[in-house]
Amino acid sequence: MTAFGSVFMPEMAISWFDGSNWSETEVVSSDSIQLHPGAHVLHYSSTCFEGLKAFRHKDGSIKIFRMDKNVERFAQSSQLLGLPEINKDVTAKMIRDIVARFTDEVPEAPGSMYIRPTHFGTEPAIGKAAVPSLTSCQYVLLSPVGDYFAGGDKALRLLIEDQNMRCPPHMGMVKSGGNYAAALQPIMHARAEVQADQVLFCPNGDVQETGAANFLLIDGNELITKALDASFLHGVTRDSILTIARDMGMDVQERELTVDELLERAKKPGCEAALSGTAAVLAPVGTLIHHGQEIDVGNGGIGETTVKLRTALNAIQWGEAEDTHGWLTSV
Ligand SMILES: Cc1ncc(COP(=O)(O)O)c(C=O)c1O
């Protein structure tokens, strides 16, 4: 099996901003792009991206999941990075059109076509460390992906980092490469030192998120997760799972969750924890590692409610349950 995101469709949609206008969208080879070595993005990380999926339904139709919400976040990231404003309708059309061009290549469920819109500053100006790029480029790249859980659905090990942050607190809600770069060292250390799968960033004891997913605690009928603020990414999957949980009658609490409360609740036999994100949807967390101590979450295995919520979300994505919230866009 190839690694997630390492196979690409041969063409992508692209548009360039010249300081005044966006060029007409073109479909070009996805092999390469040409950039000036002084391009703003290469020096000052003026870049953001999105990750969303298109699914093949049994009737052969192709549906994109929560495209509007992802385009909205893309526009917000662009704005917070001082990049030129994108036209959300144009980006949405770029996404729909490039997926339509490759409908035959959209894998059957549980596979999907992963969609990666990207926007970055292109201005050749290495003196602009504290000035935004006047020019930019956006493209939409496609990558067919298989079943995330093909290797087996195993409960993850998370290292609790209760001092340091994933990224500066005003940047967490921006889906930008620099945030991932900032989190890399702690994640590499956690893998090497305690064989953790991920780091759960909890600066000053405030449970935020991992390097690439949001964190949810499920204790009986309660679902607890951090309330939205600027310090972490506002996951589209998080929003979808919370909505489905509310539909199921669960008590959804968006509020501050401390490491102390998390560890206290984790000890209860029925407790569950999960990571939410586009790639895995909802991945079970079995173990928390805190100051050298390993704490099982509930029974340390795969939680029942986690699987129930993931199955419900997959059913909507795959066209097996009614799309009552209007989350699917036809291609
Ligand atoms: C840091 C971070 N948090 C949360 C998420 C989950 O976001 P989404 O559900 O929109 O994929 C991601 C994305 O993949 C992420 O990179």
Confidence of residue 149 (pLDDT cuts 50, 70, 90): confident
Our answer on whether the CB atom of 51 is closer than 6 Å to any ligand 1 atom is yes
- The two structure tokens encoding residue 272: 């569950």
Report which ligand 1 atom has the smallest distance to the Cα of 51.
Answer: 11
Q: Is 238 in the pocket of ligand 1 (CB under 6 A)?
A: yes
Cα 16 from chain centre: 25
Exposure b/e, 147-156, CB count within 10 A at least 16 = b: ebeeeeeebb
Ligand 1 pocket member 84 (CB < 6 A): no
Cβ partners under 8 Å of residue 26, min gap 6: 13, 14, 15
SS3 156: strand
172 Cβ closer than 6 Å to some ligand 1 atom = no
Q: How far apart are CA 271 and CA 300, in angstroms?
A: 9
Q: Chain-centre distance of CA 189, in angstroms?
A: 22
* Structure-token pair, residue 322: 């009614």
Ligand 1 centroid, distance to 314 Cα (angstroms): 17
Instruction: List the one residue out of 102, 182, 184, 189 whose CA is nearest residue 143.
Output: 102
SS3 at position 150:
coil
pLDDT computed for residue 9 by the predictor = 98
**Ligand 1 pocket check: which of 72, 233, 239, 309 to mutate, most ligand atoms within 8 Å of Cβ?**
233
pLDDT value of residue 58: 96
For 27, the token pair is 């479909």
How does pLDDT run across 183-192, given as a tens digit for each residue? 999 999 999 9
pLDDT confidence of 328, banded at 50, 70, 90? very high
User: Using an 8 Å Cβ cutoff, are 254 and 242 in contact?
Assistant: yes
Ramachandran angles phi, psi of 110, nearest 5°: -80, 5
Range with lowest mean pLDDT among 141-150, 214-223, 229-238, 245-254: 141-150
75 in Cβ contact with 88 (< 8 Å): yes
Position 1 scores a pLDDT of 60
235 Cβ closer than 6 Å to some ligand 1 atom: yes
Q: For 287-314, how does the pLDDT look when each residue is reduced to its tens digit (9 = 90+)?
A: 999 999 999 999 999 999 999 999 999 9
What average pLDDT is seen over the chain? Answer: 97
The CB-side HSE value for 262 (13 A sphere, CA atoms) comes to 30
**Residues 19-74: tens digit of each pLDDT:** 999 999 999 999 999 999 999 999 999 999 999 999 999 999 999 999 999 999 99
Question: Nearest-CA neighbor of 76 among 173, 166, 178?
Answer: 173
Identify the pLDDT of residue 147. Answer: 85
Q: What are phi and psi of 279, to 5 degrees?
A: -65, -55
Q: Is 231 in the pocket of ligand 1 (CB under 6 A)?
A: no
| Alpha-carbon span 87 to 71, nearest angstrom | 10
Does the beta carbon of 237 lie inside 6 Å of ligand 1?
yes
Residue among 189, 188, 201, 218 at smallest CA distance from 284: 218
Pocket test for ligand 1, best of 53, 210, 237, 244 (most atoms within 8 A of CB): 237
pTM (two decimals): 0.97
Q: What percent of the chain has pLDDT over 70?
A: 100
- Residue 126: strand, helix, or coil: coil
Look at the alpha carbons of 98, 104, 105, 107 in this order and tell me if their dihedral is positive or negative.
positive
Residue 153 has pLDDT above 90, yes or no: no
My answer on whether omega of the bond before 107 falls inside 30° of 0, hence cis, is: no
User: Residue 108: which of 320, 298, 295 has the closest Cα?
Assistant: 320
User: pLDDT > 90: what percent of the chain?
Assistant: 96
Query: Is 276's C-beta closer than 6 angstroms to any atom of ligand 1?
Result: yes
Structure tokens at 94: 């770029």
